[in-house]
Structure 1
């Protein structure tokens, strides 16, 4: 074989030891950040690592040490299809990550039962957790829990709804304000020159993802569509019957509604109210998250578009980010960027 085509061997820990003029055991202690190595020696080893371009094989190191990453997902206990799909995607991702020595469990919490929430969060023992991925309202108890776990060396990521005022390491989810702006742009273009109001239905305005989507949506309405007036948010609490009843009442009380923005509520209830509503022209409806319900409604022509974030990507990204934080390795921004997907009837992915 031509020497020009022959690959250069990757530097090993033995190469680092020779370059730094220390023992292999000392290199191992530096790599694992164990005590008992003088500062000058640590600096010499790190200089050798940088000079040689040594990249540690963390998978092999963890296998040799029989290390298992212990992760916990804390999610709302809602029965909606998005949350169910997210939980299923997490279970699938964890199953496929077993070869990476990852174990994970999911804890379901109630966002409306504060006592139960406090009990579950205070029971989290940092001695039994390496990483936490949490989707919850941004409350003092949630921030305190994140701070307590971070202080004990637990990697923490916020999932779907961010916790920017906490000490979390990373946010896994798409930009909710941009998603709201996207929904606003689409809705305004679909409505066209019609003048009227927009009904807005959310799960809860206590949820940061709902709040940020609403803010983004309102900004676009103000900037680009003066012919449309968004109404105050209707909170349906992920209950299809509540969503149907409240949407129906809103449409009865506001005869000039021309569109509905489903920010993240139970879209089936909203759709039922739209179907039974008698209006001179069909009402435009934009929804978030692709589920079996929203897919059916897109195909039936009740929904016009769905703003989606892939639950499989969310689950896999959360696992990768927690592991990277545990290993003090860089997070690959391009890999972990959760894209905003715009889905209409004509570009729906195949049913799984």
Structure 2
């Protein structure tokens, strides 16, 4: 028979009340005692009845997604998937909501996070660049009893939900080199900001492949757009004017509309190989028209569902199935849309 909470209490040498507090992540239990209970869980093979545990709470889990105030089509798609999950998740006693934060002002973003109460939020997935202010805000939230995980934009903490960005950048580098073949020239790399961990990791992965395997290509220093269409046009056109041997464009960020527009103007004269990230209406249309060659994608629905599962597991002090939460790197071309 499956071990019960009474069996778990006996194996750990603690009271039923202590087991209940550990299983439900309540305060008032020493770290040593928590470790003892967790060791006993593994030793006797205890598995919690999660349906019964959720019903015993007498309220739904409430999870939030903190996302930037400004963003492009990919962010819109993520928000739609969050709202979609909220509609269907209530049957499992899970509610999800969107909180907008100022990703360009880390102090203001930290203040927004600091106002969240564990009485209203059980866990939160954070989509924001890694800064000292955000890092401190996350630490204080966990002290207040709110579980946190980094979402899409990586932070240096456990539970990151998103693709392996270094592998994604390396994939882009391989595609760029393969598509260009023996052509020699310059490749432009473009992103919203180099302060984001995902952009840094993508660039490292991209450079690692191109520098090692494609000596016919030279990659320029990363151009930053700060998410501004006017600046995007300006820096990209300046780079195209300054280098008459541009053969490739790597769009590292999620917002590709303006780079596609400017890059398309050059394609009529000198065919560029263009690699972008994230499937949106714009990148899909550009793939179909031949303005870009490939899109490296991560499924927004999978991202949201995985974040909810991990947050719930954290609240219930249990692990998740790692293979289920691994976000795949998808390569899209016109032929497999």
TM range, smaller chain: 0.7 to 0.9
- What residue is the counterpart of 1:250 in the other structure? 239
- 47-56 or 250-259, which deviates more: 47-56
Contact 2:191–2:224 at 8 Å: present in 1 too? yes
- What residue is the counterpart of 1:315 in the other structure? 304
Give the whole-Å Cα distance in 2 for the aligned partners of 1:195 and 1:144.
46
Contact 1:155–1:169 at 8 Å: present in 2 too? no
1:169-194 alpha-carbon deviations (Å, 9 max, x no partner): 31000110110000000011101111
Give the whole-Å Cα distance in 2 for the aligned partners of 1:212 and 1:20.
43
CA RMSD, 1 decimal: 3.1
- What residue is the counterpart of 2:172 in the other structure? 183
Larger radius of gyration: 1
- What residue is the counterpart of 2:138 in the other structure? 146
1:259–1:64 Cα change, 3 Å:
same
Give the whole-Å Cα distance in 2 for the aligned partners of 1:245 and 1:199.
14
TM-score, structure 1 as length reference = 0.84
- What residue is the counterpart of 1:97 in the other structure? 89
Contact 1:76–1:108 at 8 Å: present in 2 too? yes
1:299–1:12 Cα change, 3 Å:
same
- What residue is the counterpart of 2:65 in the other structure? 73
Give the whole-Å Cα distance in 2 for the aligned partners of 1:26 and 1:208.
40
- What residue is the counterpart of 1:209 in the other structure? 198
- In the TM superposition, 1:225-236 aligns within 5 A as 225-236=214-225
- 48-57 or 310-319, which deviates more: 48-57
1:84-106 alpha-carbon deviations (Å, 9 max, x no partner): 11111111122221122122221
Is 1:113–2:105 an aligned residue pair? yes
- What residue is the counterpart of 2:181 in the other structure? 192
> What SS does structure 2 have at the residue aligned with 1:342?
strand
Give the whole-Å Cα distance in 1 for the aligned partners of 2:199 and 2:10.
56
Unpaired stretches in structure 2, ≥5 consecutive residues = none
1:151-179 alpha-carbon deviations (Å, 9 max, x no partner): 23321100111111xxx431000110110
Q: What is the aligned residue count?
A: 334
Give the whole-Å Cα distance in 2 for the aligned partners of 1:205 and 1:196.
23
Contact 1:244–1:271 at 8 Å: present in 2 too? no
Contact 2:166–2:205 at 8 Å: present in 1 too? yes
How much has 1:24 moved relative to structure 2? 8.0
TM-score, structure 2 as length reference = 0.88
